Amino acid sequence: MVLAALILLGVLAGYAYWKVMGNNVSKDVVAFELLIPTGADYQYLKQLLKDQEVLKDEWSFDMLAEALDYPNKIKPGRYILNYPMSNKDLLSILRSGRQTPVKIVINKFRTKADLAGYIGKKLEMDSVELTQLLNDEVYLDSMGMKPETAMALFIPNTYEFYWNTSAQKFVGKMASEYQKFWTDTRKQQAIAKGLEPIQVIVLASIVEEESQKKDERPTIAGVYLNRLNKGMLLQADPTVKYAVQDFGLTRINSAHTGFQSPYNTYLNTGLPPGPICTPSINAIESVLNAEKHDYMFFCADITSPGYHAFAKTFEQHLQYARKYWKQQDKAGNHAPTPPSI
């Protein structure tokens, strides 16, 4: 009897050990993503695991979870479950809240809605909440920003966030990254150009939209700085597209340039009230390291697709412009008015 009892205890102990330490994740994949939303309770989690067929044996998981008091320690977030994984391994990760961060790649976004929509697909937060926060004057004022300049906070780069990061913490981290970006060296470069960091971002957003050729961006930045210093209209077509919210425009006519908006640099001197996109670091550096020259105008260069022809005088600029539009006419692309910059 004693021997039989010992054997039985041994079997039970082995079975219990196997249930705790043996593989219990049914997903036969290298990694599986589990998203536990904020406010979820244990019943919700069990249903989530059941719906996604994560566990081989729900009973053993439930028993160990109860023993470890996990039902009272649910932590939301994004967890990557690897195969194989035991109940002990799984609960160790979930109880500790050891989330796997989400990589967020900030590229060029033109509007808050576009940015918020992208973030809303990557993180738990609601895109509407983020958009509202980026228009909250009181909240932004604490960061030295306004609704018009809020997009300047988002320096294009790759960042890591926990999936359940709130909208406020998200913006707060981006504000912190913005401050890190503006080193003393960059601030001094901005001062040397007669600009504040925000103004550099705004001008860089125009440069970003004007050319995809990184090697000519410092030249374009120099043209705009020359115009700013002389109090001339920037007459930047990208600002018109932003003003009318039509980013697919290929031809700018008088109806567009006459559109009443503080962003229309055909009507208003100086820089727009805020960036017209989230400019790349290259565009920002192009403004900080803008070329010093006497160019005041530029238009598309017919000899180098994608590049621009620069001119010091309006007469020279018109010569380049006429050649460009003559080429466009031959191609059947008729323009309503010649470019003025």
End-to-end CA distance of the chain: 100
Cα separation, 2 vs 5, in Å, equals 5
CA dihedral in degrees (255, 257, 263, 269; nearest 10)?
Answer: -150
Burial category of 88 from C-beta neighbours within 10 Å (exposed 0-12, middle 13-18, buried 19 and up): middle
Per-position DSSP letters for 207-225, written without gaps between them = HHHH-S-GGGHHHHHHHHH
Query: Which residues, listed in sequence order, are joined to residue 103 by a DSSP beta bridge?
Result: 160
Cβ distance 271 to 239 under 8 Å? no
pLDDT in tens, 103-131: 999 999 999 999 999 999 999 999 999 99
Q: Taking Cα atoms as reference points, which of 332, 302, 298 lies closest to residue 314?
A: 298
341 has a pLDDT exceeding 80: no
Q: How far is C-alpha 248 from the geometric centre of its chain's CA atoms? A: 21
Mean predicted lDDT score pLDDT of the chain = 89
Q: Taking Cα atoms as reference points, which of 340, 338, 316 lies closest to residue 232?
A: 340
Query: Which residues, listed in sequence order, are joined to residue 32 by a DSSP beta bridge?
Result: 81
User: In this predicted structure, what is the pLDDT of residue 54?
Assistant: 84
Cβ distance 81 to 24 under 8 Å? no
306 has a pLDDT exceeding 60: yes
Residue reference for tokens 């229309």: 264
User: In this predicted structure, what is the pLDDT of residue 250?
Assistant: 79
Token couple for 298: 């530029």
Instruction: Tell me the average pLDDT across 216-233.
Output: 98
The segment with the largest mean pLDDT, out of 52-66, 84-98, 205-219, 293-307, is 205-219
Amino acid at 261: S
pLDDT in tens, 138-157: 999 999 999 999 999 999 99
User: In this predicted structure, what is the pLDDT of residue 13?
Assistant: 39
Token couple for 173: 């981290």
Q: Taking Cα atoms as reference points, which of 248, 271, 244, 272 lies closest to residue 260?
A: 244
Q: How far is C-alpha 315 from the geometric centre of its chain's CA atoms? A: 42
User: In this predicted structure, what is the pLDDT of residue 6?
Assistant: 37
Q: What is the percent of the chain where pLDDT is above 90? A: 73
User: In this predicted structure, what is the pLDDT of residue 336?
Assistant: 46
Cα separation, 323 vs 328, in Å, equals 9
